[in-house]
Structure 1
């Protein structure tokens, strides 16, 4: 999904949240708890608006530079100072 699609999806969810909060407010009244929920939902709406404004300036994630790996065998002199992995040292027995 693109950033625009994700932001649109979040906006739809927030719209659903606001409708539900309004229904709850009608059922429970405007007590302290409902005011806190409404305030939190308003903060989410404001934060999303700020994010939408910043979205055009957000740069896409950078793709790492690809490094070609040749198909030719490696020089065997690169491995002279290493043990055979999983087999133990040359002068030791494997378990």
Structure 2
């Protein structure tokens, strides 16, 4: 029987993680008002291809002018610290 690996798990191993983007923008009819849009999704750090596609779409299709974008990212699977212990003491 073949082993089936979940596609979401494969993405986690490839480095995908939970990404939150905070987009600050201004609408043309209220240029002095800075507004916020938050979006949370899975993306691949450090290139963020999904975020780039979204921002490209925003630039093409939405009238609002982006002021800045802040990105927070956390890998869903990351290396863990390993300590070797023998006879109750930590090996250096």
Q: TM-score, normalised by structure 2?
A: 0.30
> Higher strand share goes to which structure?
2
Which has a greater percent of helix? 1
Query: What TM-score comes out, normalization by structure 1 length?
Result: 0.30
